[in-house]
Structure formats: C-alpha cells, structure tokens
C-alpha cells in the first residue's frame, strides 16, 4: 500500500470572457490520503486543491456498480485516479477544480464482498474526514457538496439525505457530521426497488444488470408482495427517496431520456419528494445521452455556489 504522496500539477486556463487574459492555476494534489481504516486496509482518497480556491469542497464518487466493475484494490484506478484522464465524471471534476473547488476523489469498499451499509459508511467517513480537516485543505466545514455518477450518484444522494451519529466517538473525525449540503447526481437510482415494475413501459426496469448490481450492493433481494418488489426494510433504508426530510441538501438531478439502466421517472419521483419537503431541487433531462448525461459545468458551479454559501 502506497503512503501519502504530495505532487504539484499546473493547469493553464482562460477564465475571462473574450479571452482577454489567461491565468495559471496551481493545483496541489494529495495522493492516496488515508481517510480511514477498514477491513485491515487503508481507505484512500486523492485531493485536488487549486490555488484560486473558493473554499468549497466536493466529494466525488465514480460509478462502478458499487465496485462490481472495479478491482479488489482500495487504490482502484477507475475511481479516484481517473481524474487525470478525460473520462466522463473526472472531466467534470477537473473543470470544477479549475473553477476553484477542492475535489476529494473517494474510494470505498467494493461489492459483492461488502454490502450496504458498509459501503455507504465509507462515504460518510470520507465526508467526516473532509469536514474535520477542512482548515488543512482550505475549505469551510459547512460548504461541502457531493457529486456522483450511477452507483456513485446513489451514494452521493444518500450523503445529502442521511446522517449517522456515532455514539461515544473515540476521535474527532467520528464526532462531526457526515451530511453534505448540496448534491449533484448523474443517472441515479433513488428508489432501489423500482425495477421490473409491471406498470412501467420504461425498458430500464427490465435490466438484469441493474438487479444484479443492486443485489451485490444490498446482499439480498427486496421483499416481494403480489409479485412485485416493495420498498421496505434494508432497501428502504438504502434508498435516498425514503430518507428525504426538510433539512436535506439541495439536489441538482441529471438524467438522459434514453438511459438503459436509470429510468427518468426515478429523478422525477425524487424531485417531487424533495419539493414536498421544501428542499431545493432541479431536474435536467439530457437528450440521447444513454447512461452518461453530461452535466453543464457552469450550471453545476452556480448550483454549488448558491447552496453552499
């Protein structure tokens, strides 16, 4: 297991309208930062801190089928290290760093070896670590958001609606909140039993792959009533839509109208649930983008700045 390494990256970008001038932004990278210990191994994140910081921190969780498509390494390249590529989610993360956000690319334990809530607890621990060490990384402890895609979007959404109190916390990290104040999701499932629904024409609900991934994450199948899955028990606890309250973070929800895995109604249902609880929410439909609706980085920037004041 590699120890923490600090390196410096330089990005040159034009930030003024009309290309009037260019500014060199220095990016400090903290690589393989240990945010916790689990199952006898170090849990790792990579941190990207810009010199033009706006003092907002964003926890980024890549889509991986909860680790189904990842290796068994906590230093999984496909999660945190793909920031260096022009990959789908990592490109958005890179754009946010250039706009002044400090980005925390998080790894978590992987399904099917581990299940809910263990995987989600890793993400909560990551937020606690970020909040506890906010001064060190130049961000405000009350200005922390989450960005995620697919399975990572489910986890990011959960960070916006759930908090877990650790009684008799043995250290400072475990004594702070694990909840974020704003969330951006890309192709998320908010209701984890909304699959194979008889009254839906959406082809996404017929995906055996989705059922397999959710089974790997949960470690069990949903309860069945009258031949259909019902939102109850462990699945209810793990579904962001079941945990919405008036105190939740603001949600910006992206979907594609032809996503084969995440039906648009998932976002619509979550949007209405948030609205019922007076939680700021917006849903954006991207046409013909499959499972990768491309976010408008300027829109994401405005969203985070508005709700992470």
What digits encode the pLDDT tens for the residues 119-177? 999 999 999 999 999 999 999 999 999 999 999 999 999 999 999 878 788 888 999 99
DSSP three-state, residue 217: helix
Q: Between β-strands 223-225 and 144-149, what pairing exists: parallel, antiparallel or unpaired? A: unpaired
- Phi and psi dihedrals of 175, rounded to 5? -95, -5
pLDDT single digits (tens) 172-226: 899 999 999 999 999 999 999 988 665 555 545 556 888 899 999 999 999 999 8
Three-class secondary structure assignment of 191-207: CCCCCCCCCCCCHHHHC
Size of the chain, expressed as the number of residues it contains: 309
How many alpha carbons lie under 13 Å from residue 245 in its C-beta half-sphere? 9
- pLDDT band of 39, cuts 50, 70, 90: confident
CA distance 215 to 234: 12
Reference 50, options 7, 103, 14, 124; nearest CA is 103
Which domains, from first to last, does the chain contain? 5-307 (3.40.50.1820)
Query: Is there a contact between 27 and 11 (Cβ–Cβ < 8 Å)?
Result: yes
Q: Between β-strands 22-38 and 223-225, what pairing exists: parallel, antiparallel or unpaired? A: unpaired
Looking at residue 3, its pLDDT comes to: 39
Reference 165, options 121, 203, 129; nearest CA is 121
Return the number of other C-beta atoms located less than 10 Å from residue 300's C-beta.
24
CA distance 286 to 252: 13
Q: Model pTM?
A: 0.89
Reference 61, options 40, 38, 39, 35; nearest CA is 35
What residues contact residue 114 under an 8 Å CB cut-off, 6+ apart?
Answer: 39, 67
How far from the centroid of its chain's Cα atoms is residue 157's Cα? Answer: 7
CA distance 230 to 304: 34
- Phi and psi dihedrals of 238, rounded to 5? -85, -10
User: How big is the CA angle at 305 (ends 32 and 254), to the nearest 5 degrees?
Assistant: 80
- Using the structure block, give the residue that is written with the tokens 């508005």: 306
Return the number of other C-beta atoms located less than 10 Å from residue 303's C-beta.
21
How many alpha carbons lie under 13 Å from residue 229 in its C-beta half-sphere? 19
Looking at residue 82, its pLDDT comes to: 61
What residues contact residue 136 under an 8 Å CB cut-off, 6+ apart?
Answer: none
Looking at residue 21, its pLDDT comes to: 43
pLDDT single digits (tens) 215-255: 999 999 999 998 888 999 999 999 999 999 999 999 999 99
Is 291's pLDDT higher than 50?
yes
Q: Between β-strands 228-230 and 223-225, what pairing exists: parallel, antiparallel or unpaired? A: antiparallel
Alpha helices in 12-150 (DSSP H): 88-98, 118-132
Looking at residue 27, its pLDDT comes to: 92
Looking at residue 67, its pLDDT comes to: 85
Encoded tokens for 127:
């937020």
């Amino acid at each position: 297991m590699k120890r923490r390494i600090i390196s410096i990256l330089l990005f040159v970008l034009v930030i003024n309208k009309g290309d009037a001038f260019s500014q060199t932004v220095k990016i400090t990278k903290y690589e393989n930062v240990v945010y916790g210990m689990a199952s006898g191994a170090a849990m790792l994140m990579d941190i990207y801190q810009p010199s033009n910081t706006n003092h907002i921190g964003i926890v980024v969780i890549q889509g991986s089928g909860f680790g189904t498509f990842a290796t068994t390494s906590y230093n999984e390249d496909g999660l945190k290290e793909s920031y260096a590529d022009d990959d789908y989610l990592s490109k958005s993360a890179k754009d946010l760093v250039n706009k002044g956000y400090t980005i925390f690319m998080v790894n978590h334990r992987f399904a099917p070896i581990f299940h809910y809530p263990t995987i989600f607890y890793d993400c909560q621990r990551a937020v606690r670590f970020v909040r506890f060490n906010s001064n060190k990384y130049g961000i405000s402890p009350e200005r922390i958001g989450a960005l995620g895609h697919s399975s990572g979007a489910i986890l990011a959404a959960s960070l916006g609606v759930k908090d877990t109190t650790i009684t008799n916390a043995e250290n400072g990290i475990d004594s702070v909140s694990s909840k974020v104040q704003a969330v951006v999701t890309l192709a998320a499932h908010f209701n984890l039993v909304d699959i194979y629904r008889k009254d839906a024409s959406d082809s996404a609900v017929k995906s055996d792959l989705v059922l397999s991934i959710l089974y790997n994450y949960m470690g069990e199948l949903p309860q069945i009533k009258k031949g259909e899955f019902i939102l109850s028990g462990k699945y209810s606890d793990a579904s962001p839509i079941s945990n919405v309250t008036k105190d939740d973070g603001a949600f910006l929800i992206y979907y594609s109208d032809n996503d084969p895995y995440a039906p648009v109604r998932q976002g619509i249902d979550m949007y209405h649930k948030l609205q019922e609880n007076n939680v700021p929410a917006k849903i954006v439909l991207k046409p013909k983008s499959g499972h990768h609706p491309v976010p408008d980085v300027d829109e994401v920037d405005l969203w985070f700045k508005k709700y992470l004041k």
